[in-house]
Amino acid sequence: EIAASGAIGLLSGRGSNPLMFEDVDALREVTIGAAVTTSGIELTPELRSAFPRGLSIGTIAAVSAQASSVLQSADVTPTLPIDSIRTLLVITNFRGGLPIPSAAP
């Protein structure tokens, strides 16, 4: 999510290249330097984001938009280079993601 505009999309890694933020509504403002964070979307109590809202991911480095498209995309520079992370905080009490299916009788 881009906190300033509320734009949401799909974020994916591309190896050593910047992250790719795709499928963003073209009517939403996406500006270079804008902060990108986890959205923490909850569609229903059973269907929600795997991550809590507001975790820093990075900043918009470049924007790609076509005048005829309803979607736009952007390159995102990670807050921290992935290969520089030495310590990782694991959140254990956040109830996100899809529910675990119950065993069939």
The string of pLDDT tens digits covering residues 41-57 is: 877 777 777 788 888 99
- This prediction's pTM: 0.73
pLDDT at 21: 93
> Could you write out the DSSP letters of every residue in 13-81?
EETTEEEEEEEEETTS---TT-EEE----BSSSSSB-SS-TT-EEEEEEEEEE-TT-SEEEEEEEESS-
- The string of pLDDT tens digits covering residues 13-33 is 877 778 999 999 999 999 999
- Domain definitions of the chain by residue range: 10-84
CB hemisphere CA count around 57 (13 angstroms)? 28
| Residue with the larger pLDDT of the pair 97 and 52 | 52
**10-84 is classed CATH 2.40.10.350:** yes
What is the rounded end-to-end Cα distance, in angstroms, of the chain?
Answer: 40
